């Protein structure tokens, strides 16, 4: 999987090394088999409006983002064997438990999803923008 640096619209880094799951195989695999996430590490899943933590070994923060980059919901410390969703979400960002608060991510935060194009994802790399 490719990795990007995810930032707010004003340039603040919220996920230093964010892996991108943007095809059926990488979305299905997600974080399965991992023992945890390091600080600054995460997973951006697109398109997605819901997640599950079945078979996972650790809790995660889940950030649901609209097509326009607005954070719609933050599910904090979601334990294994749960589901979570947000109406209108087109992108999901999975972070280690506590990382959303540590990075100041809350409902209404605006993320720059277009920045991923310069890092090996998005239209410049042959991937369509988030739509739906």
Q: What is the CATH number of the domain that holds 29?
A: 2.60.120.1140
Number of domains in the chain: 1
In a domain, 123, yes or no: no
**Measured distance CA(84)–CA(48) in Å, rounded:** 11
Greatest CA separation for the chain: 36
In a domain, 121, yes or no: no
In a domain, 120, yes or no: no
pTM of the model: 0.84
Q: What is the mean pLDDT of residues 109-131?
A: 52
In a domain, 57, yes or no: yes
8 Å CB contact between 96 and 38:
yes
| Tokens describing residue 86 | 């947000």
Provide the domain limits for residue 82: 3-114
Q: What is the mean pLDDT of residues 41-61?
A: 94
- pLDDT level of residue 56 (50, 70, 90 thresholds): very high
In a domain, 75, yes or no: yes
| 3-class secondary structure, 117 | helix
| Residue 120 confidence (pLDDT) above 80 | no
Q: Which of 2, 50, 42, 52 is nearest to 22 (CA)?
A: 2
In a domain, 122, yes or no: no
In a domain, 129, yes or no: no
Neighbours of 124 (CB within 10 A): 12
């Amino acid at each position: 999987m490719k990795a990007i640096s995810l930032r707010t619209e004003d340039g603040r880094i919220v996920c230093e090394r964010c892996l991108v799951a943007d095809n059926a195989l990488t979305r299905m695999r997600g974080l399965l088999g991992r023992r945890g996430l390091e600080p600054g590490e995460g997973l951006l899943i697109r398109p997605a409006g819901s997640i599950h933590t079945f078979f996972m070994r650790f809790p995660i923060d889940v950030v649901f983002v609209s097509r326009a980059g607005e954070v719609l919901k933050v599910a904090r410390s979601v334990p294994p064997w749960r589901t979570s969703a947000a109406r209108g979400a087109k992108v999901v960002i999975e972070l280690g438990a506590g990382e959303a608060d540590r990075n100041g991510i809350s409902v209404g935060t605006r993320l720059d999803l277009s920045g991923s194009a310069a890092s090996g994802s998005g239209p410049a790399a042959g991937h369509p923008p988030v739509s739906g």
